Structure formats: structure tokens, C-alpha cells
């Protein structure tokens, strides 16, 4: 791009970067607004009013608790299934592994609405709409590829000789898995679990189909609040959700770079 | 202090064959390794030496044939029940454990008491000169130190057999020379049978009691370094272990005596009942060069000097043989010589030094 | 002698692998129950369910409104992909040529929308674009007003969410281009601009293609964001599916729309990965 103008490109990139980040930050001053509108307030007038509303109004609080419960369970299921699949696919022939990896990552590529309709059609026939089990199934499916990909990456970086060495030194396959393989891929497993948690916690499309008056997740509550009114509690919720996402993702990235720094050989 | 000395076990391989799909990696291998012996598997990459080592360790399974330790068949045993110490080129230390935990790992697997464990770990660390490193992590150690830890971990549980897969391959030349003599000494002290894999012929010659030279999934020849050097059975073994001059000719039996014919030259050779075409092998230090034609008529060839390299204590001369092939001569540097490239000279050798390698035996249909 | 040996080999190997394949069971179950059955059910319903007397496909193809919606959805996705490419290509190139600190900053900024909830981003733009909001203050001529509730606002939101999926593959591909090639072309007499367009850009086609695939495919499936930033009069497939199922219980119609969406997604995916494969094959052939 116009390589002869040396500064045009960096300036453009920084502007775009700022345009990507700033609108998201605009949510914060709205969440502290003292008024009952989506007004961007100045810091001296800030009030914690809408955060109090978020944590005391049973409608908001219940949805927050439901979201956390579903996200934790979904992350657990996705991580266990994804980790086991990553372990199981290690010694499989290359062509088979490529097919299996494509299948496991498929949930990422199917349009969410399509998945949501299908899940809704199935769960309504089994009376699981509006239940934690239904949500966990759907969200675990979305978390599965993420857990699988991060754990696979950790396993790929694992030196095969370590397992051989452990076997040769007297450990059986199960002991080797427990003492050598799992501790070494643990950061990858943790990162995968955190990503799966974030995806479930933020998911709104499938939740829009599967929710019921008795079980609503926080994103659904936020969505219906946005379409209904200008209640700034949604800004507090959005800030909370975004902060939790960024913190969780930061932990996941930290776990992965810790593994790179401490558990791989320096040559 | 705990004693790590051990009595090495013998290993016997009988008709071992291993293939992946259509590719045979090991072909009908018979090998006897004596208890306490330092046996090296030497060969180029892809010759099957590492696979053979993995087979002994239980990490690969043969399609046919069997492996016996002290006479007992072990093919069905998983690696963790074979009691063999293994050392890898990349050390394979567990990065999430301290040095002491790494070394104690095989002892814990054997349910040894804590106090016995501590004593053995201390003894093993002492043996590889790493006192005071017990609480460090592998990533805090240099390559040479990591390799010592790997060795300590492999000997600490007193295995009767030590398997080493190019353990010095990742070290630089100086460190490698140092570790060679250390490993040799360790072998003397510990007494286990060592099976050592390398592609470095010099390393193999320095360290081994015996060497098995491997090529294309077969064992070409087994013998002491000296036997392999002076009495190679195939041209592959001859060229893989050191330089040589090769004269291609034929062997005829005349009376009770075998005579090697090379152009007009006739050389009596001993100890060969082979007739037919073959290669007369001369090691560089067995040949003498002179400017004038020596008086005797056998064991003498007229050659042209190609180049002369002075290497200090020795002088290495490359010559062109009458048939166009080239030869190598190494003489003491102190011997005066006026030979220059392009000169004609005479090479000669002692009759006893002659050794004939028969032409590719296995491909001879009538054999 | 070979055959006896080989059959022995085949009998010995698989036992261990079978044990490891058992580890795949939970993931396989999850994919079967969570993906295969629901998708199969949708397809089945699209054929057999006859809300209003006709099957979903007949309804879809006899109603020009819904064909229009389908067309609008795909063109919105295409537009989003183009905008992402136009903004993302120079951005990725800036990342490539930037110093290490600048690169980390640019990378960090672009990874953010990858993780942040769609709702948060939609809400942010709702705040900015609302009447009397930030946009109308920044663009006093009324340019910022009136944007909310239009298709351009939807494209804006989609671009914001999906631009990482353009920039990251582009950057990865650009990094794999030999940095000596452009100077080499200039050494052969090309101007800098010409060398850039004739040497560098063609080598990044795989990155362009995968970026476009991701953005296009993901754009097709949104319904929350168009619902919040767009207008019900300019609905997209996602919203229509939601309406048909939740409000009208018309499973056959929703199923038919879902099948159209999936087929469209698969077609775009196949087309563009095909481009990548052909370009890649040509490149390999040319190099050797």
C-alpha cells in the first residue's frame, strides 16, 4: 500500500486499531451514568447505581448465576471431551487425523442460527428446552473445538521421547499419562477450558432459542433489555461481561506462554 | 554410599524382522551381546540401528524373531517391565521436575522407600559429578550437564542393560570427547551391558568392546574395532570405518595358496578360501611410497601423485592407481619426501597386510 | 516369506490404537447428539413439515420476499468481507512492517473483538449511533444520525466483530512471504508499487481467500446484531429463521432457510478453498 509514503500506513493502522478498541470502551461511562438513559457521562458524575441494580434485581442476578453455572459446566464437558479426543488422535494415521480434526472443528463453521434451530427442534421433542442440560449440551459443543485445538497444540509440542523415557524407567501407560503427559499439557488444558468458558458465557444466539421464562442467561437478559428499553443496567452488565472476558482470556494466554517459557527445551 | 555396580545381562536376537507396511526396517537380524559388554550399533541414518535399540527397549515390536535377555524371552514384556536404562540424544528429562525428582522417578516406580531413594539419588549424582544440582530444573542446566543427569537417571535403578541412542549427538566436539571417556569409565564402574547407537565411526572405535555395523536393516559385520578395521567382510564396512585404498581384481587358487591378481601384479593372500573377483584392501598407514622402484616385484604398483597434505605428525598423500581409481597413503611426517603432484612414484606394502574383501557375496547366484 | 510376516504385523498393531480410539467417544457423542442429530432433524423437517399446507422449499421459492432476504443476506456478507479486506490488508501489512512493540499493540487491538461478546459490541454501537449519541456529535452535518436501523450500520457492526478473522490469516500469510522477493523484483527493474502489486499481493492470495471465507461464512449466521442495529424491514436470513420458529412455529420454513444457508456457506467455502488450493499448487509447481 502506497509504500513510498512511509507514514501513511502506520497512521492508518493505529487509527483503525483505535477505532476497534474505543467503541467498546464507550460502554464503561454509560454503565456509570446517573441518568436513566444510554448517556455517556463524565467521570465526576459517576454513580454505581446500575451495578447495584445488576447485583440486586433478581431478574439480572438470576440470569448472571445461570450463565456462570452453564458456562462452568459447559467448559468442563467441552474440556474433558476435547482433551480426551486430542489424546486419542495423537497416534492415528495422518489422513484419519485430518478428517477427525475437521469434524471436531465443524461446530465453529456452522452458522449459529442453523445450529440453534436444529438444537431447538431436538430439545423441544425431548422436553429439554429451558433446562441447564440443554444449554450445557449446546455450549459444550461450541467449546469442544476450542478445547481440542489448544490441547492438540500443547500435545504437538510435547517431546515423544519423554513418554518413552517414562515407560523405560518403569512407569506403565496410565502412570505415564498421570505424571508426565497431563502435567505437561495442563496449561493447554486450562487455556482451552477458559476459552470454552468465555464462549458459553457470551453466547446469545442459541440461548435465544433455548431460553425459557424460568431459565435465561445473562446475554439473553441483555438482549431483551436492549430491544425493550434504555435501561442502563445493560451497560453495567456489558462492562462486567467484557471485563470478565478480557481477564479470562488474559489468564488463558498467560497459561499458554508460561508453558512455552517453562516446559519447552531451550536450545 | 550406595553401590551402583551391576552384573550386565546378555542379549540375544534371533531372526528379528520388522517392517512398516512394505518397508522392511530390520531384516533377519541375529546378534549376541555378552553380559557386561559395550556393544555399539554403528551405521548411517536409516540403517535401522535406532529401531533395533527401540526393539530391545520394548518401544517397537518385531514381526518375526525373538529377543532374549539372559536366555529368557522378553518380546511380550512392555517397556516398563524390561528393567533397561535408556539415554536419548535430546536427554528427555522431565521439564516439570527437579533433577532429584527426575533421577528418583524410576525408584519411585519401583516403590522404593524414601531413604533408600535419597541415598541412590546421591550416589548417582556423585557418579556423574553433579553434586549440588539436585534442586535445579533441567532448563537451568547446560547440554552436557543435562546429558549427565539423563545418564544418572538411567543407571540409578541398577539396570542390567543400558540403551543409549546417540547420547552425545547434540554436544559439541570437545564436550563429546570428554563425555566419551566418562561414559567408558562409567561402564567399567557400573558393569551393565551397554548398547550404544551412533553414526560416528570414530566414537564407535574409541568406546566399544565390539561394534555391529548396520546397513539397510541388516547387520553387516560384528567384531572388535580392530577386527572390523583390519578384516572387514564387506566393502561397506571397509569404507564406513576409515579410509582405504582398494584394488579391484580376482583371486585364483594355485596349489594351496590364494593369489590375488591385479593387472600385472600378483599378491599372495592368506586365509582366503574365496575365489573369483574381489577387492584388495589397504589401509593408508600400511602403504609406503618411494620415488624409485623397489627391488622386489610383488606388492608394488606404479602410481601418480595427486596431492600431498601435511598434517603435522603425518603426511597424507592422494595417489592415482593404474586403473584410474584413487588411493590414500599416510606416512610419518618426519619421513622426508620430494614427491609433488604429477610425479610418478611406487607404492608397496607388506604381504601380511593384504586383506581381500569378496565381491558382494549375497548377490552371487552360485553361492 | 513376506505375506506371513506382514499379516502378523497387521494383527499386532491395532490393539493399542483401539484403546486410544476409545478416548474419542465423548467428543463423538457430543458431535452426534449436539450437531448431527439437530442438523439432520432440520433437514428432515424442511422436507416433511408443511406449515400452511406447503413444504418449506415450495414456500421459500414461491415467495419473492424470502428470495430477496436470501439475496440480501449473501450480499451483506459479501460487502462485509470486502470492507474487512479493504481495511484488513493494509492493517496486516502495517503489522508486518512495524517494529516489535508496534506489532504487539496492533495485534492486541485486533484480538480484542475476537473474544468480546457480540452483544457488547452491538450495544457499544447502539450507544454511539443512537439519536443524539456520539456519532451525531462527531458528525454535526447529520451524517451520523439516521445510520442506526440501516444495513450500513449492520455492515459496520459485522466488520467490527469479524475483522480479526480477516487480519490474522492475512498477517500469517504475509509473514511467510520471502522478504527478499520485493527487493529482488525491484532489482530487476520494477518500481516499488509495481513490485508490490505483481509480486507481493499474488503471494498473499491464500491469506486473502481464507480471510474472505471466514468473514463471509460467519456473517451469514448472525441474527442478534442485525436485529439490534438493522431494521426489521431489511431482515436477514438469521432473523427470518428466528421469527419463523419462535413466533410462527413454522419448522419447515426455518429448516428450508437453514438448508439454504448451509448450502450457501458450503459453496462459498468450497469455492474459495479451491482457489487457495489451485494457487498453492501453482506456486509449488513454479518453485521446484
Do residue A168 and residue B59 have CB atoms under 8 angstroms apart? yes
**pLDDT for residue B364:** 38
**pLDDT for residue C79:** 95
Distance between CA atoms of B282 and B247, rounded to whole angstroms?
Answer: 8
Q: How many CB atoms lie within 10 A of CB A95?
A: 8
**pLDDT for residue C142:** 58
Res. C167: pLDDT tops 90: yes
Cβ contact A151:C44 at 8 Å = no
Task: Please tell me the total count of domains within chain C.
Answer: 2
Res. C173: pLDDT tops 70: yes
Best of B27, B63, B76 to disrupt the C interface (most C CBs within 10 Å) is B63
Q: By the CB < 8 Å criterion, does C102 face chain A? A: yes
Res. B365: pLDDT tops 60: no
Percent of chain C with pLDDT over 90: 25
- Please report which confidence band the pLDDT of residue C10 belongs to, taking 50, 70 and 90 as the band edges: very low
How many angstroms separate the CA of residue A79 from the nearest CA in chain B?
22
For residues B245-271, give the mean pLDDT: 81
Do residue B64 and residue C5 have CB atoms under 8 angstroms apart? yes
- Please report which confidence band the pLDDT of residue A163 belongs to, taking 50, 70 and 90 as the band edges: very high
- Please report which confidence band the pLDDT of residue B362 belongs to, taking 50, 70 and 90 as the band edges: very low
DSSP C223-250: -HHHHHHS-GGG--HHHHHHIIIIIT--
The DSSP element (H or E) to which B186 belongs, if any, is helix B173-190
Distance between CA atoms of B170 and B89, rounded to whole angstroms?
Answer: 6
**pLDDT tens for each residue of A53-110:** 888 888 899 999 999 999 999 999 999 999 999 998 887 878 888 888 889 988 888 8
Q: Are residues C35 and C111 in the same domain?
A: no
Assign domain A58-266 one CATH number from 3.30.428.10, 1.10.3720.10, 1.10.357.20, 1.10.1740.10: 1.10.3720.10
**pLDDT for residue B173:** 86
Q: By the CB < 8 Å criterion, does C16 face chain B? A: no
The CA–CA distances, whole Å, from C123 to A21, B337, C225 equal 14, 94, 9
Distance between CA atoms of A218 and B327, rounded to whole angstroms?
Answer: 85
**pLDDT for residue A75:** 96
Res. C13: pLDDT tops 60: no
Cβ contact C36:A112 at 8 Å = no
Q: Are residues C126 and C188 in the same domain?
A: yes
How many angstroms separate the CA of residue A131 from the nearest CA in chain C?
15
Which residues of chain A have a CB within 8 Å of the CB of C41?
A: 118, 121-122
Res. C45: pLDDT tops 90: no
Q: By the CB < 8 Å criterion, does A168 face chain B? A: yes
Q: Are residues C10 and C137 in the same domain?
A: no
Do residue B19 and residue C6 have CB atoms under 8 angstroms apart? yes
Q: Are residues C122 and C244 in the same domain?
A: yes
More confident residue, C184 or A185: A185
Distance of CA A35 to the CA centre of its chain: 33
- Range of lowest pLDDT (B351-355, C134-138, C152-156): C134-138
More confident residue, A8 or C155: C155
- Range of lowest pLDDT (B64-68, B189-193, C12-16, C255-259): C12-16
Res. A177: pLDDT tops 60: yes
Kindly give the pairing relationship between strand B161-165 and strand B84-87. parallel
Which residues of chain A have a CB within 8 Å of the CB of B163?
A: 168
Distance between CA atoms of B277 and B244, rounded to whole angstroms?
Answer: 18
Cβ contact A265:A159 at 8 Å = yes
Do residue C38 and residue A119 have CB atoms under 8 angstroms apart? yes
∠ Cα A22 A25 A26 (to 5°): 90
Do residue A113 and residue C223 have CB atoms under 8 angstroms apart? yes
How many angstroms separate the CA of residue B13 from the nearest CA in chain A?
19
Q: Are residues C141 and C175 in the same domain?
A: yes
Ramachandran category for residue C226: left, alpha or beta (phi over 0 → left; psi -120 to 50 → alpha) = alpha
Mean per-residue pLDDT over chain C, rounded: 82
Which residues of chain B have a CB within 8 Å of the CB of A165?
A: 86, 88, 92, 94
Res. A133: pLDDT tops 60: yes
Res. C14: pLDDT tops 60: no
Q: Are residues C64 and C42 in the same domain?
A: no
Cα torsion B186, B192, B195, B196 to 10°: value is -10
Which residues of chain C have a CB within 8 Å of the CB of B19?
A: 5-6, 9
DSSP chain C: -HHHHHHHHHHHSHHHHHHHHGGGHHHHHHHIIIIIHHHHHHHHHHHH--GGGS-HHHHHHH-HHHHHHHHHHHHHHHHHHHHHHHHHHHHHHHHHHS-HHHHHHHHHHHHHHHHS-HHHHHHHHHHHHSTTSHHHHHSTTTTSTT-TTSHHHHHHHHHHHHHHHHHHHHHHHHHHS-TTHHHHHHHTT--HHHHIIIIIHHHTHHHHHHHHHHHHHHHHT--HHHHHHS-GGG--HHHHHHIIIIIT--HHHHHHHHHHHHHHHHHHHHHHHHHHHHHHHHHHHHH-
Which residues 177-206 in chain C show a CB within 8 A of chain A?
Answer: 192-193, 196
Domain ranges of chain A: 58-266
Q: Find, among A108, A121, A77, A61, the residue nearest to A203 by Cα.
A: A108
∠ Cα B19 B228 B38 (to 5°): 70
Cβ contact C76:C154 at 8 Å = yes
Res. B307: pLDDT tops 70: yes
Residue of B nearest to A265 (CA): B139
**pLDDT tens for each residue of A233-257:** 888 898 998 999 889 888 888 888 8
Percent of chain B with pLDDT over 90: 47
Q: Are residues C118 and C27 in the same domain?
A: no
The domain of C33 spans 3-46
Q: Are residues C15 and C92 in the same domain?
A: no
**pLDDT for residue B340:** 84
Q: Are residues C78 and C13 in the same domain?
A: no
Percent of chain A with pLDDT over 70: 96
What is the domain-level CATH number for residue C243? 1.10.3720.10
Residue B291 dihedral angles phi and psi, to the nearest 5°: -75, -30
Q: By the CB < 8 Å criterion, does A172 face chain B? A: yes
Residue of A nearest to C38 (CA): A118
Which residues of chain C have a CB within 8 Å of the CB of B65?
A: none
Do residue A30 and residue C130 have CB atoms under 8 angstroms apart? no
For residues B87-95, give the mean pLDDT: 90
**pLDDT for residue A16:** 93
Res. C75: pLDDT tops 70: yes
Res. A25: pLDDT tops 50: yes
What is this model's ipTM? 0.85
Q: Are residues C40 and C65 in the same domain?
A: no
The CA–CA distances, whole Å, from A93 to A29, A148, A173, B46, B222 equal 54, 18, 20, 21, 36
Residue of C nearest to B15 (CA): C5
Coil, strand or helix at B34: coil
Do residue C6 and residue B64 have CB atoms under 8 angstroms apart? no
The CA–CA distances, whole Å, from A69 to A249, B81, B89, C29 equal 18, 46, 48, 22
**pLDDT tens for each residue of A183-209:** 999 988 998 999 999 999 999 889 988
Q: Are residues C176 and C205 in the same domain?
A: yes
All partners of chain C with 3 or more CB pairs under 8 angstroms: A, B
Max mean pLDDT among B272-281, C92-101, C270-279 falls in C92-101
Do residue A84 and residue C23 have CB atoms under 8 angstroms apart? yes
Q: Are residues C153 and C114 in the same domain?
A: yes
How many angstroms separate the CA of residue B228 from the nearest CA in chain A?
32
Which residues of chain A have a CB within 8 Å of the CB of C223?
A: 113, 205, 208
Which residues of chain B have a CB within 8 Å of the CB of A175?
A: 109
Helices C64-97 + A8-25 axis angle, to 10: 120
The residues on B that touch A, with CB distances below 8 Å, are 57-59, 78-86, 88, 90, 92, 94-96, 105-106, 109-110, 138-139, 153-154, 157, 163
- Range of lowest pLDDT (B216-220, B338-342, C27-31): B338-342
Q: By the CB < 8 Å criterion, does C125 face chain A? A: yes
**pLDDT for residue C135:** 72
Q: By the CB < 8 Å criterion, does B252 face chain C? A: no
Res. B135: pLDDT tops 60: yes
- Please report which confidence band the pLDDT of residue C93 belongs to, taking 50, 70 and 90 as the band edges: very high
**pLDDT for residue C85:** 96
Amino acid at each position: 500500500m502506497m509504500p513510498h509514503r512511509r507514514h501513511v500506513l502506520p497512521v492508518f493502522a493505529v487509527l483503525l486499531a483505535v477505532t476497534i478498541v474505543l467503541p467498546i470502551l464507550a460502554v464503561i461511562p454509560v454503565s456509570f451514568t446517573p441518568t436513566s438513559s444510554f448517556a455517556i457521562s463524565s467521570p465526576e458524575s459517576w454513580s454505581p447505581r446500575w451495578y447495584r441494580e445488576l447485583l440486586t434485581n433478581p431478574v439480572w442476578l438470576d440470569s448472571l448465576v445461570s450463565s456462570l453455572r452453564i458456562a462452568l459446566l459447559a467448559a468442563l464437558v467441552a474440556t474433558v471431551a476435547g482433551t480426551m479426543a486430542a489424546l486419542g488422535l495423537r497416534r492415528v494415521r495422518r489422513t484419519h487425523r485430518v478428517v477427525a480434526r475437521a469434524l471436531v472443528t465443524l461446530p465453529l463453521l456452522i452458522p449459529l442460527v442453523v445450529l440453534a434451530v436444529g438444537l431447538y427442534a431436538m430439545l423441544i421433542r425431548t422436553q429439554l428446552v429451558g433446562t441447564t442440560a440443554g444449554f450445557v449440551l449446546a455450549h459444550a459443543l461450541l467449546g469442544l473445538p476450542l478445547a481440542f485445538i489448544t490441547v492438540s497444540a500443547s500435545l504437538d509440542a510435547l517431546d515423544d521421547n519423554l513418554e518413552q523415557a517414562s515407560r523405560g524407567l518403569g512407569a506403565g501407560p496410565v502412570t505415564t499419562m498421570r505424571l508426565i503427559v497431563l502435567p505437561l499439557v495442563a496449561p493447554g488444558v486450562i487455556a482451552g477450558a477458559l476459552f470454552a468458558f468465555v464462549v458459553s458465557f457470551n453466547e446469545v444466539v442459541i440461548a435465544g432459542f433455548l431460553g425459557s421464562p424460568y431459565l435465561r442467561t445473562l446475554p439473553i437478559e441483555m438482549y431483551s433489555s436492549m430491544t425493550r428499553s434504555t435501561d442502563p443496567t445493560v451497560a453495567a452488565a456489558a462492562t462486567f461481561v467484557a471485563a470478565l472476558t478480557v481477564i479470562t482470556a488474559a489468564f488463558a494466554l498467560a497459561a499458554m506462554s508460561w508453558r512455552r517459557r517453562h516446559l519447552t527445551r531451550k536450545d | 554410599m550406595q553401590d551402583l555396580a551391576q552384573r550386565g545381562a546378555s542379549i540375544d536376537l534371533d531372526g528379528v524382522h520388522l517392517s512398516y507396511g512394505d518397508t522392511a526396517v530390520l531384516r533377519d537380524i541375529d546378534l549376541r551381546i555378552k553380559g557386561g559388554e559395550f556393544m555399539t550399533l554403528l551405521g548411517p541414518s536409516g540403517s535401522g540401528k535406532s529401531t533395533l535399540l527401540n526393539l530391545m527397549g520394548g518401544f517397537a515390536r518385531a514381526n518375526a524373531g525373538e529377543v532374549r535377555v539372559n536366555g529368557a524371552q522378553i518380546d511380550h514384556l512392555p517397556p516398563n517391565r524390561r528393567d533397561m536404562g535408556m539415554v536419548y540424544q535430546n536427554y528427555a528429562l522431565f521439564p516439570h521436575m527437579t533433577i532429584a525428582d527426575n533421577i528418583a522417578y524410576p525408584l519411585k516406580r519401583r516403590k522404593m522407600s524414601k531413604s533408600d531413594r535419597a541415598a541412590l539419588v546421591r550416589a548417582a549424582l556423585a557418579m556423574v559429578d553433579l553434586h549440588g544440582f539436585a534442586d535445579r530444573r533441567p532448563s537451568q542446566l547446560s547440554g552436557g550437564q543435562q546429558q549427565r543427569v539423563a545418564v544418572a537417571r538411567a543407571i540409578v535403578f541398577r539396570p542390567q542393560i543400558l540403551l543409549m541412542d546417540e547420547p552425545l549427538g547434540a554436544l559439541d566436539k570437545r564436550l563429546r570427547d570428554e563425555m566419551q571417556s566418562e561414559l567408558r569409565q562409567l561402564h567399567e564402574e557400573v558393569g551393565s551391558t551397554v548398547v550404544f547407537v551412533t553414526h560416528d565411526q570414530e566414537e564407535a572405535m574409541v568406546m566399544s568392546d565390539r561394534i555391529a555395523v548396520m546397513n539397510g536393516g541388516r547387520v553387516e559385520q560384528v567384531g572388535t574395532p580392530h577386527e572390523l578395521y583390519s578384516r572387514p567382510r564387506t566393502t561397506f564396512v571397509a569404507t564406513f570405518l576409515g579410509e582405504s585404498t582398494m584394488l579391484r581384481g580376482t583371486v585364483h587358487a594355485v596349489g594351496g595358496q590364494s593369489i590375488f591378481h591385479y593387472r600385472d601384479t600378483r599378491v599372495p593372500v592368506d586365509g582366503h578360501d574365496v575365489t573369483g573377483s574381489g577387492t584388495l584392501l589397504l589401509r593408508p598407514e600400511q602403504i609406503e611410497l618411494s620415488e624409485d622402484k623397489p627391488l622386489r616385484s610383488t606388492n608394488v604398483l606404479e602410481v601418480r601423485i595427486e596431492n600431498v597434505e601435511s598434517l603435522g605428525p603425518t603426511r597424507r598423500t592422494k595417489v592415482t592407481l593404474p586403473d584410474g581409481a584413487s588411493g590414500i597413503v599416510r606416512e610419518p611426517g618426519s619421513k622426508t619426501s620430494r614427491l609433488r603432484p604429477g610425479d610418478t612414484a611406487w607404492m608397496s606394502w607388506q604381504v601380511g597386510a593384504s586383506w581381500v574383501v569378496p565381491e558382494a557375496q549375497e548377490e552371487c547366484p552360485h553361492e | 516369506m513376506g505375506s506371513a510376516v506382514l499379516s502378523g504385523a497387521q494383527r499386532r498393531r491395532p490393539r493399542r490404537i483401539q484403546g486410544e480410539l476409545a478416548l474419542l467417544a465423548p467428543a463423538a457423542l457430543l458431535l452426534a447428539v449436539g450437531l448431527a442429530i439437530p442438523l439432520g432433524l432440520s433437514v428432515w423437517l424442511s422436507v416433511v413439515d408443511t406449515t400452511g399446507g406447503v413444504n418449506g422449499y415450495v414456500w421459500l421459492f414461491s415467495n419473492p420476499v424470502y428470495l430477496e432476504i436470501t439475496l440480501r443476506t449473501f450480499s451483506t456478507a459479501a460487502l462485509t468481507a470486502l470492507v474487512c479486506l479493504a481495511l484488513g490488508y493494509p492493517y496486516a501489512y502495517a503489522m508486518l512492517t512495524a517494529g516489535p512493540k508496534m506489532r504487539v499493540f496492533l495485534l492486541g487491538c485486533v484480538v480484542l473483538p475476537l473474544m468480546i461478546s457480540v452483544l457488547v459490541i452491538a450495544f457499544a454501537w447502539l450507544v454511539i449511533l443512537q439519536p443524539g449519541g456520539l456519532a451525531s456529535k462527531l458528525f454535526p452535518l447529520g451524517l451520523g444520525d439516521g445510520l442506526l436501523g440501516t444495513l450500513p450500520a449492520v455492515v459496520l457492526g459485522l466488520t467490527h466483530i469479524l475483522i480479526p478473522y480477516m487480519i490474522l490469516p492475512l498477517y500469517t500469510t504475509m509473514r511467510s512471504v520471502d522478504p527478499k522477493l520485493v527487493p529482488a523484483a525491484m532489482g530487476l527493474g520494477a518500481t516499488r508499487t509495481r513490485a508490490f502489486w505483481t509480486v507481493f499481493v499474488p503471494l498473499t492470495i491464500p491469506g486473502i481467500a481464507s480471510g474472505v471465507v471466514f468473514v463471509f461464512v460467519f456473517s451469514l449466521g448472525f441474527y442478534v446484531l442485525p436485529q439490534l442495529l438493522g431494521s426489521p424491514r431489511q431482515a436477514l436470513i438469521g432473523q427470518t429463521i428466528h421469527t419463523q420458529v419462535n413466533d410462527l412455529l413454522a419448522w419447515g420454513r426455518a429448516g428450508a432457510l437453514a438448508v439454504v444457508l448451509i448450502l450457501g456457506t458450503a459453496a462459498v467455502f468450497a469455492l474459495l478453498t479451491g482457489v487457495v488450493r489451485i494457487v498453492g499448487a501453482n506456486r509449488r509447481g513454479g518453485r521446484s
